[in-house]
Amino acid sequence: MPVKSKEDFFNAYNVLFVPGNEISIESLRHLQLSVINSAYRKKALQSHPDRSKVVGENEVEMKERFIEITLAYEKLSSFMKGNPISVLADEIGIQRKGKERTARPNKKKSFSDHFYKGCIPKHRLLIGQFIYYSVLISWRKLTEAIIWQKRQRPSIGQIALEWGILSSYDIKRILTE
């Protein structure tokens, strides 16, 4: 079921996400199929008619709500397939603030180096994660350091051989099996 108008898009968006939430170019940047899918799964689970007896609500009302959520999901997901964010913003009439960078066609995307922007997470972090979240190193440097560190480690078979746990015959037999 395709989106037919700007209002149709807003209605479908409000069904899956927070009703009355202002749609901006920033919210559209984060609007991806994976975000739509997870919002749909969450709403569908909350409103599925089979749960009516468990939550103590009217089954008919839950069925209508479930159908509404499913239609909104179908509209948004079909609209998002193949539409870049700039086209999406233009189609539904959202004004962009300042100049927006658009993807250049026929250019190979390169891995960009970036630093974290935001608060340090509250959960326990490994030292590399802490350094990244503290904005001391970039994402690229962190991944390069992890790869370098992994390459420096001896294999488990080499360690077992050095410690006398396994013989070279045992290692060959394990690797062939």
Range of the domain at 31: 6-92
pLDDT at position 163? 92
Given a cut of 80, is residue 85 above it in pLDDT? Answer: no
Number of domains the chain contains: 2
Of the residues 92, 109, 135, the one at which a domain ends: 92
Kindly state whether residue 34 falls inside one of the protein's structural domains: yes
Kindly state whether residue 20 falls inside one of the protein's structural domains: yes
85 shares its domain with 16: yes
Write b or e for each residue in 75-102: b if 16 or more Cβ atoms lie within 10 A of its Cβ, otherwise e. Answer: bbeebbeeeebeebbeebebeeeeeeee
Given a cut of 80, is residue 162 above it in pLDDT? Answer: yes
88 shares its domain with 133: no
Residues 6+ apart with CB under 8 A from 145: 128, 137
| Token reading at 37 | 């899918």
83 shares its domain with 25: yes
For residue 37, the surrounding DSSP H or E stretch is helix 33-47
Radius of gyration of the chain (CA): 25
Tell me the pTM. 0.47
pLDDT tens digits for 29-76? 667 788 888 888 888 888 888 887 777 888 888 889 889 989 888 888
Given a cut of 80, is residue 80 above it in pLDDT? Answer: no
Mean pLDDT value across residues 17-32? 66
Mean pLDDT value across residues 5-24? 73
SS3 23: coil
Residues 6+ apart with CB under 8 A from 142: 128, 129, 131, 132
73 shares its domain with 14: yes
- Number of Cβ within 10 Å of residue 1's Cβ equals 13
Residues in the chain: 177
Kindly state whether residue 120 falls inside one of the protein's structural domains: no
pLDDT tens digits for 104-147? 444 444 555 667 777 778 888 788 888 887 888 888 888 888 88
CATH assignment at residue 87: 1.10.287
| Token reading at 80 | 């998002």
DSSP 88: H
11 shares its domain with 88: yes
